[in-house]
Structure 1
Amino acid sequence: MPATTSCSLSFDLSSVPVTIKGFTQRRWRVTDLTPGDAGPWCLGLQLLMTERAAYRFNLDSSTPRLFLRAGDSDAPEPRPSAITASQEVAAAWMDGEQRVLEVAMPLAIQAWIEAYLARYGEAPPEGRKKKRQGAGRARELQP
């Protein structure tokens, strides 16, 4: 029987007003994150083989996080559309000017990702690439 590579997570969003240099804006955060589909918002967390190194990096951090793509960064209300455990994917979303919210990863999700990595293996180490002798340099012409 194959291991599950996706799970549903339900959550809610809340905001608090924050004043910075005289301007007030709403800061959004994820609340009530639980496995299942019982909350006001529900998204599927899909684990991908290509992101195994990012999952390990996240799990080895002092506070593992989940990252939620929540629509355009300048939109007044967040519109959750995806969730990931990969900081690299979250960074790509932010580069695309998407709002990204983060939340502490529940222990059950940490254990599930650990089991996924145990089953499918850790990502191969990305060794430092060595340049060939003289590579990247213009050759001197001999007269």
Structure 2
Amino acid sequence: MMALKRLTCLPVQGLRWSIRMSDNLRSLSITLVAEPKQVRGFTLTQWRIAELTPGEQGDYVLSLQLYMTERAAYRFNLTSATPRLFVRAGFTGQAPKPDAITASQDVAAGWLDGEQQVLEAPMPMAIQVWLESYLARHGEAPPERRKKKHKGAGRAKETPTKEQPQ
């Protein structure tokens, strides 16, 4: 079950409001733009993420949820030259309809294998810091160990048979 924290803010005007957030969930706003691209005499529309910011003020709002099983992929992304976020935007060849976002390149690769349109953008610094603190709280993913094969595993066992005296 997801543990939610309630943060109460008091703005200058004296009004009260609450923001719900959790350890592994953040809202991100996305603005897309279409750019015409010439390919062999044809004009194609290529979509890209024009703006990706924390909060809920863009054309599309998606929730970035972190999973313990993806910690190694998050670390790999954070140690790259430019950490990125990946947005699933519907099927290839159709107008984009963003419906999911991830910081895991492994998850994004799975979406691409399923012929989904995947858009990417640089990860905002606020999200990098949040992701780093998530990894610090929950620990790094344990290194995958090679499975030891048992002697004779995968082969028919040769057992000596006793010959019956006649």
Taking structure 2 as the reference length, what is the TM-score of the superposition?
0.78
Say if 2:46 is the partner of 1:22: no
User: Once the two structures are superposed, what CA deviation does each residue of 1:32-55 show, in whole Å capped at 9, x if it has no partner?
Assistant: 111000111111101111111111
Taking the aligned partners of 1:11 and 1:109, their CA distance within structure 2 comes to 14
**Where does residue 101 of structure 2 map in the other structure?**
83
Q: How far did 1:18 drift?
A: 1.6
Equivalences for residues 70-109 of structure 1 within 5 A: 70-75=89-94, 77-109=95-127
**Where does residue 82 of structure 2 map in the other structure?**
63
Taking the aligned partners of 2:146 and 2:125, their CA distance within structure 1 comes to 33
User: Once the two structures are superposed, what CA deviation does each residue of 1:19-74 show, in whole Å capped at 9, x if it has no partner?
Assistant: 22333211111111110001111111011111111111111111111000000112
Which of 99, 120, 125 is 2:143 aligned to? 125
Taking the aligned partners of 1:141 and 1:95, their CA distance within structure 2 comes to 46
SS, match of residue 114 in structure 1: helix
Q: How far did 1:83 drift?
A: 0.4
One-letter identity of the residue aligned with 1:47: L
Which of 125, 134, 139 is 1:116 aligned to? 134
Q: Bigger radius of gyration, 1 or 2?
A: 2
Q: How far did 1:91 drift?
A: 1.1
Query: CA distance change for structure 1 residues 109 and 140 in 2, over 3 Å: closer, same or farther?
Result: same
Larger RCO, structure (CA 8 Å, separation 6 or more):
1
Taking structure 1 as the reference length, what is the TM-score of the superposition?
0.89
